[in-house]
Structure 1
Amino acid sequence: MNHRKTLLSAAILTCLSFGAQAQQAAAGSPDPTELDTVQVTGIRGSVQKSLDSKREAAAHVEVVSAEDIGKLPAKNVADTLQRVAGVNVSASSGSEGGFDESERVSLRGTGASLTQTLVNGHLVGTGDWLVSNQSGNVGRSVSYALFPAEIVDQVVVNKGSQAKLVEGGAAGTINILTRKPLDFAKDFTGEATLGGVYSDLPGKTEPQFSTLLNWKNASNDFGVLVQTFVENRSLRRDGQEVVGGYSQIAPTSAAATANPELAGLYYPNLIGSTLFTQKRERKGGSFDIQYKPTDNLTLGLNGFYSKLEANNYNRNFMLWSGQFVPNRLPQSYTTDNGVITGASYAADAAATLTPYAVYDQIARISESESKYIALDADWQASERLGVKFQAGTTRGSGKTPRQDTLELAVAGNAGASWALGGTTTPIDWTLGDAGTLDSALNSYASIFGIQGSNAQDKEDWFSSDAELYFDSGLLSTLDFGVRYAEHVRENSGGINQTLLSGALAGYAFPATGLSYPGDFAGTIGGSYPSDIWYYSEAQLAAINDALADRDPATRGYWQGAYRVKERNSAAYVQANFAGERWSGNLGVRYVHTAGSNRYNQSTPDGYVPVTVDNNYGRFLPSLNFKYELSEGLVGRFSASRTMTRPDYSDLAGYVSLTDLTHTGSGGNPNLKPIISSNADLALEWYFMPRGLLAASVYYMDLKDFIAPQTRSVVYKDQTASTAAGSDVYATYLMSTPDNIDAKVKGLELTYEQPLGESFGVSANYTYADGETDGGGPVLGTSKSTYNLSGYFERDRISARVSYTWRSSFYFGPRRSYPFYQDDFGTLSATVNYRFNDRFSLSLDGLNLNNPVYKYYTKMDGNSLPYAFYENGRQYYLNLHISF
């Protein structure tokens, strides 16, 4: 096969822009061929297009087309990708627990930070709406809540690496490709979607709206595409949380002194009835302009903007067992393996100043956004040489401008009890006669939390890529190029608000408020308080206006301030080979990072800003080989070395030191990047049109994987230095992230087949086994994940039902405890009816089985319940108009 003529003819005859070519090249998908220009519609057509792209690709990829996305029950790109073999999604970015929309994507049993997400072949700035993820839990992953499914033309999941791929995905790379104006068949295309979403738990209906307008001239050398979207949605999450984790009764406590059998026993602290509500408004759009001034030059300018307004109100009424368990003897109690599994405490009028319960009400103004603008140029310099340039800038942010909070306590003569029922059942707990909060003690009132947090994620980049074609021999093309980027992730910290001194004197709290809904936590199970009042957001804001100390001069949250700046340079060369029934590539990418990490270190007199430089270079070789064993039977092998830089909060987390004990915690600015040596072997049988049976095995050797560790570090002892009048240094035992090694191996099975003219099924299964050196868990590793899907399609009507299940996995530490999410599955469905070529109607149902997200912790041989959440179901009804 003459690959040079095929590629050159495709570039000239189809007039494809650099943007589309660069996207596919960066994604590892095949270069454009006649196959890619065929117009396909509907579920069956999109399945065929996706499988054709997968089959022709030089490397191991999975492809989801625009028609797939339009016909799947999914409202963001992550919801779509969760049905792909080897892909896992989570409904939160940290330990805040799951919501009703997929948030993060990861590959092959690893954490989301090890998966690189690109848009049109480049990085995109991101942000988180939750304040704790703006400063304390800042990873490398992208918030998929900012990317609606409507903007997508194709998503390519790269399971193998190539030298020309942008580095950053140790486990793999996902490339989101947007539509291009010159790719449309008609000179003018207009589309609009009008509809709404009903969320059954809050019982509210909100509007949804999107548009697409594309125009290109008759000569197909100039085109403009504009898309917009406005999507509102109400969210309610009911739950139970063990906010304080599990504490131990100290041997010297009053309770253990009176009954030594209680010494050292664990008990749940701060068991909460949690009501979270939120109004989400995602709005934005994209544009793309393509211009071909000559037959051999294509210019492109494209941009994207998405903003998620995510104001929320969290109420948590908690049994404050840490206040009375160490000081009171229980009436009765039961234990199991060192844990108090149940206990009952009597009311005691003599203990009226000891609160048995505490109540937090937290209302936040929150938002996140992502945007970029990129300029592309594709120049076919000669028959043998093609050159592509790209330059751009991207910005992301997560902000919490205001946080209104109030903490109140309940008098201690209430009495209380709890009973654990295992990791799958919420804790039963009761509070006595003060449980309505009527006797809340103003003397325990508190205001807390961070406001004014403003996390920024920025990158400016330039890349130049060339492709040299050859007429004969095994070498078909030679790719080479360079890339340079400056990336900054930072947060100024914000304000750590508190209660104004003396403000409570004479202050009268509002006497009335609202109440938890009557069906609160109806699906979760368990027995605990639910008839709870709360202040309205306006009342809470008025309380904070009167009582909160928000002086930036004295209340600056220096612990949350950080800045990571990286100057990343890369160069690569990749040789692409082809024979009669085989093809492959061999290449190497060299990457150099010049990093500067700024964080704050605590001292007895305040804090000290510290800056640490961290520079390194790495060679990342890759090999991909594909062989057509027989008609329809394709074998693949790949080997590569990939890299992911450490999470930002791991590099620049603030350092807290205790001089008395020479202990501390914090980030680690000297972390090395994670280097993964990967091997992948796959067999794909395309046994019929739209039919696939595939299996693959993979192995990742993760050198310098990052996990919490205890290590010895030398710091200046500020207390001793002050006393001595000179610098005194000491060795501190620190709890910090550190480099260790880990391994992940697994198996993927995929089956796709049409049944007759109207039906089809697909299924896949992923097995992953990962552990760190020493036998610890790897973040994000689910042993088993499977997807089942069936579809029906005729001329006017189509339908699809999908079920996804994921086994338990380690989510990371939460308040120093190991945090796991338990098994869960989600059921979704969609029905589409086409009235004619201009009008169609769709009904989508998400989370139809109303999954309960369950979390637990492991300690001293016990698995103990930590949190339970339900979010309800969502129904989308949309009218689609084409003109």
Structure 2
Amino acid sequence: MSIALGLSFLMPLEAVSAQSVQAANAGTQGAAAGTTGAPAAQSKNASEAPKNSSNGGKKNANSKGNPTELSAVTVTGILGSIDRTIDVKREETAIVDAISAEDVGKFPDTNLAESLQHITGVEITRDNNGEGQYVTVRGLPTDFTLATFNGLSATSVDLGVRTFDYNLVSPDFVSTLKVYKTSRADLDEGGIGANVDMETVTPFGIGKESATITAKGQGSPGEPDNRYYPNLTGLFSDVFDGGKFGATFGFDWNKRAFLNQSSDPSPFYGVTLNGKGPYYAYSETGYSNMESKVDTRTVYTSLQWKPLDSTTATLTGFYAHRDSFYVTADNGVVPLEPFGAPSYNGPGASYAVDQNGVLSRLSVPVVAYTFYNTYSDDRATMKNLRLNVDTNVGSWEFSETAQYSKSGDTLEWMRPLLINSTVGGQTPTTGSPVYGGYQIYPGAPIQGYVLDPSFNVSDPSQWANQQFKDVTETGNDTIKSLQFDVTRYFDDGILDSIKFGAKAYDRPRSYDYNYWTYAFQPGQTSDSLATAVQSPSWATNVLSGYSGPGTRPSQLFFINPNLWLNQYFGGSLNNFRSNPQTVYYNNPGNNWDMVERGRDAYAMANFKFDGSVPISGNVGLRYVNTFEEFLYDSYNIADITFPSCHIGIAGCEGAIFPPISRQDTRGASHVLLPSLNASADLTDNMVLRFGASKTISLPTIDSMVPVPTITVDSFQIAEGNANLKPFSSINYDLSWEWYFRPSSVLSLAGYDKQIHGFIQQGSTTQNIGGYTFYVTYPVNASDGYVRGLEADYKQALDFLPSFWSGLGFEINGTISDGQTDAAPQYNVIATQFPGLSKKIFNATVFYEKYGFSGMMTLNHRSQYVFDPNLWGYNTTEQIANGRNQVDMHLQYAFTPHLTVFVDSKNLLNTPIVYSEKLRNGPSTEYPGEWLLNGRTVMLGATLKF
């Protein structure tokens, strides 16, 4: 359990318009809690409306006003947020959901992804610490969700992909998260699933002097090696010189710790035992305890200048750095040695086979016991600098924007590795045969070990074949962009406004990988890793949070790699790397550079019909031209030789590669993207919306880089394809909304996306040096679809008497289906979209009255395919099991300046559970990864000036 003293705050799960968000941030405290039905204020300076404002470019009546006069009386708290939600749903022509900060520096949740998951149709993927990281909208892969900062595409810290890591961004400086479920011509391309825009706070948006200080202490009482860590946040904003100048400054330091337990078996593969089979077996099973510490630091500033009533310049800077430190103690059993051996012919094999041909129990004397620590440091950094100038001249509005965004990630890890394997009928340490394997228990999410009692896995002296690995990975992603937008407004007629613009950007990326291995020689004891063995309490009690059947080691030890380096290399990695016994693993895929250039243009018309059924909307066309160039090293993989290496769990770092040369490969694509959004006011309290569009998502970078990457110890080769074309989708959306009473709404929506040119993994096999390698490569192989229904019902029970009038609730859910079609020519079968849960459900009960507010939220996500081709094998799918998470928030305001609260995340302490099943086989599911992160409790206070 984790305890945190802080200023986090769970909010109701609702959408708010850009106008009402800024009014809430700028305005004075409004009606007392419990007031309902008040419309959200719409006052907002036009300079604060980004080019992608939710009204589709409609001119604001107050666009020429003084920002210091923009204060508005707004209902605050839970009900105030619901009112703003309802307001934007009624006024919007596109289908957009959003979440807003209730006050300056007071965003719902301490993690943006976890806030987004409460929006209808949004799902999230969690990292190894259980924190929200990636976002999926309407069941499509995370790469189909485009993340933008203030309307412009954001860089990614993840190496080789376009997926955005929402866990890096501090929510304290975000005013609004918008999820665009239908497209518009003035939106950046790339989001087939949705565009998620992060709008940051600005001084004119806040509109007054404001200061907030947050202090939090967070730890894990009762857990081994518990420590308390700080979370400090400060935000100051003010306007000066009669509203002509404004400045906002903020910082956030958030350090936290996690103790994770996990089980993670390998994929199934085909084997024969003494001529019988083929059967399917785990090539390895393993358990681990992991201690991690995450330290995130953010600095934010926004400066605004209004030299003329018609012109506003905004400079926004954002810097975030996250240092994630992980240490694991991991124990595994490889029942057939060498790793992944396809057959065993000999005595001593004991096994059981189920009806699907899966070895449910396996024990053989050809076995490897493995133990290793991973000692890793992952340093991720993101910088974003944006300059925007907005000018209003009569009925014309001009906007010019320049952006510089850069993200980088450096991952360094060291891994001491111990192996005791049966070689030539006996093990080096025991001098006699040792057997081992695994046992699957029906219905249990975790498999057990079959352990030889003659081998004590908790005794470091019984291990042999020692090894030490050192790896560094570095990647960078940069965007330099210029954009120009023009809007012409009209006072009368069907045409409300026209908007057109252009954008040019360059996006260079780079990747560098280095890998060193120190293999101990037979009989070498002076450098034994046993001299660096320690026994910290976090490494013991394997899977103490799991009470199911199965045999597991009762204790694990820990090899401190820094201690070992100090003992034998003076604490210097350079000394280690330059040692003659250290082998540098050379792969041409270690280094590559690329640049992506985009040139876009669009035109969009906003229209309105004032008939018996008023209709408004927009129609537009966007042109996208993209060019990629790759610089990389390459060689003929058929000429690789393995003169002296042992292909097994120890890997094959001694492989000899042929000469390499620098290559230059280019790719390009261009496309027209039409879009239409329309809304009809059927009655005074009922709205019908329709959207139709064509959208694209660009191929992931790692799928395009045309470099062979070889994983020798699992016989795999992965190659990229620079000639991949973007995914494209034809989309149709329909939404019906009924506002049957104040602070209440019932809405139903349906959507259909027909995706073309879906990128799949083609596969083949190739013999290299006498070994068969499984080769995968991406291709535009097939089409696909996703369709579904969404429902949202929220209601404040303010009509109840007395105390009960503070109650309310929200229920929303999504039912969806989708798949990619088969492509037999590439050995690709029809499969459900990875990440698509057929059922998503959110339920919230809230109360707000007499200074007290609280809520409890249940989030349910049904089973989904996590990886349709686990580890690149063509045998196993990885399935994420359905999961419920319950969160709770309680708060009491002593004064308008001081609030105390208690929050609990993952109140039920629910683990994250995966299963494995055979591709093209029966639906039977077998134990996969099991991960327990624990619950988090936060105690804290908010102080405002």
TM-score band, normalised by shorter chain: 0.7 to 0.9
1:736 equivalent to 2:757? Answer no
The amino acid that maps onto 2:917 is K
SS in 2 for 1:44: helix
Match in the other structure for 2:297: 283
Q: Deviations over 1:713-738 (max 9, x none)?
A: 9xxx9999xxxxxxxxxxx9952111
In 2, the alpha carbon distance for the partners of 1:68 and 1:223 equals 18
The 1:333–1:500 alpha-carbon spacing in structure 2 relative to 1, beyond 3 Å, is closer
After superposition, residues 363-512 of structure 1 pair within 5 angstroms as 363-380=375-392, 382-409=393-420, 411=427, 413-422=433-442, 425-433=445-453, 434-438=455-459, 443-448=464-469, 450-451=471-472, 453-499=473-519, 504=524, 506-511=526-531, 512=533
Match in the other structure for 1:575: 605
1:807 equivalent to 2:862? Answer yes
Note the C-alpha offset of 1:198.
3.3
Match in the other structure for 2:653: none
In 2, the alpha carbon distance for the partners of 1:224 and 1:124 equals 23
Of 114, 117, 122, which residue of structure 2 is paired with 1:79? 114
1:518 equivalent to 2:541? Answer yes
In 2, the alpha carbon distance for the partners of 1:148 and 1:237 equals 23
In 1, the alpha carbon distance for the partners of 2:319 and 2:835 equals 30
Match in the other structure for 2:654: none
In 2, the alpha carbon distance for the partners of 1:455 and 1:834 equals 46
The 1:330–1:526 alpha-carbon spacing in structure 2 relative to 1, beyond 3 Å, is same
Of 699, 704, 724, which residue of structure 2 is paired with 1:646? 699
1:816 equivalent to 2:872? Answer yes
Of 76, 79, 95, which residue of structure 2 is paired with 1:41? 76
In 1, the alpha carbon distance for the partners of 2:71 and 2:787 equals 34
SS in 2 for 1:855: strand
Of 113, 132, 145, which residue of structure 2 is paired with 1:115? 145
SS in 2 for 1:338: coil
Match in the other structure for 1:837: 896
Note the C-alpha offset of 1:493.
1.9
In 2, the alpha carbon distance for the partners of 1:815 and 1:423 equals 24
SS in 1 for 2:242: coil
SS in 1 for 2:314: strand
Note the C-alpha offset of 1:631.
1.1
8 Å Cα contact 2:786/2:816 also seen in 1: yes
Match in the other structure for 2:826: none
Note the C-alpha offset of 1:39.
2.9
In 2, the alpha carbon distance for the partners of 1:423 and 1:217 equals 66
- Percent identity of paired positions between Structure 1 and Structure 2: 23
After superposition, residues 222-301 of structure 1 pair within 5 angstroms as 222-242=245-265, 244-250=266-272, 255-256=273-274, 260-261=275-276, 263-301=277-315
The 1:28–1:746 alpha-carbon spacing in structure 2 relative to 1, beyond 3 Å, is farther
The 1:460–1:497 alpha-carbon spacing in structure 2 relative to 1, beyond 3 Å, is farther
TM-score normalised according to structure 2 size: 0.82
The 1:416–1:32 alpha-carbon spacing in structure 2 relative to 1, beyond 3 Å, is farther
The 1:550–1:559 alpha-carbon spacing in structure 2 relative to 1, beyond 3 Å, is farther
The amino acid that maps onto 1:766 is T
Note the C-alpha offset of 1:334.
3.9
Note the C-alpha offset of 1:652.
0.9
The amino acid that maps onto 1:550 is R
After superposition, residues 133-172 of structure 1 pair within 5 angstroms as 134=159, 138-172=160-194
8 Å Cα contact 1:86/1:108 also seen in 2: yes
In 2, the alpha carbon distance for the partners of 1:38 and 1:112 equals 39
In 2, the alpha carbon distance for the partners of 1:402 and 1:523 equals 28
In 2, the alpha carbon distance for the partners of 1:852 and 1:718 equals 42
1:312 equivalent to 2:340? Answer no
Match in the other structure for 2:817: 769
Structure 1, unaligned stretches of length 5 or more? Answer: 1-5, 93-97, 129-133, 346-350, 721-731
1:532 equivalent to 2:556? Answer yes
Note the C-alpha offset of 1:247.
2.9
8 Å Cα contact 2:870/2:878 also seen in 1: yes
Of 606, 622, 638, which residue of structure 2 is paired with 1:589? 622
SS in 1 for 2:178: strand
The amino acid that maps onto 1:395 is K
In 2, the alpha carbon distance for the partners of 1:876 and 1:288 equals 30
The amino acid that maps onto 1:76 is N
SS in 2 for 1:25: coil
Q: Deviations over 1:489-539 (max 9, x none)?
A: 221223344437789453233454115243734236343223111123533
The 1:544–1:379 alpha-carbon spacing in structure 2 relative to 1, beyond 3 Å, is farther
In 1, the alpha carbon distance for the partners of 2:300 and 2:520 equals 46
Of 793, 800, 804, which residue of structure 2 is paired with 1:751? 793
Note the C-alpha offset of 1:646.
0.2
The amino acid that maps onto 2:881 is D
In 2, the alpha carbon distance for the partners of 1:875 and 1:557 equals 46
SS in 2 for 1:518: coil
SS in 2 for 1:447: strand
8 Å Cα contact 2:469/2:515 also seen in 1: no
The 1:439–1:140 alpha-carbon spacing in structure 2 relative to 1, beyond 3 Å, is closer
8 Å Cα contact 1:493/1:558 also seen in 2: no
8 Å Cα contact 2:335/2:438 also seen in 1: no
The amino acid that maps onto 1:383 is G
Q: Deviations over 1:754-775 (max 9, x none)?
A: 1223111111111111111122
**Residue-pair matches, total:** 825
Structure 2, unaligned stretches of length 5 or more? Answer: 1-18, 24-41, 63-69, 422-426, 640-657, 799-804, 823-829
Of 743, 751, 761, which residue of structure 2 is paired with 1:698? 751
8 Å Cα contact 2:467/2:517 also seen in 1: no
Note the C-alpha offset of 1:268.
1.6
Note the C-alpha offset of 1:289.
0.5
8 Å Cα contact 2:542/2:555 also seen in 1: no
Moved more, 72-81 or 764-773: 72-81
8 Å Cα contact 1:27/1:157 also seen in 2: no
Note the C-alpha offset of 1:15.
6.6
After superposition, residues 858-869 of structure 1 pair within 5 angstroms as 858-859=917-918, 860-861=921-922, 862-869=924-931
Note the C-alpha offset of 1:448.
3.0
Supply the RMSD in Å over aligned alpha carbons.
3.1
Match in the other structure for 1:95: none
8 Å Cα contact 1:298/1:379 also seen in 2: yes
In 2, the alpha carbon distance for the partners of 1:414 and 1:28 equals 70
Moved more, 468-477 or 409-418: 409-418
In 2, the alpha carbon distance for the partners of 1:657 and 1:78 equals 34
SS in 1 for 2:627: strand
The 1:790–1:653 alpha-carbon spacing in structure 2 relative to 1, beyond 3 Å, is farther
The amino acid that maps onto 2:376 is R
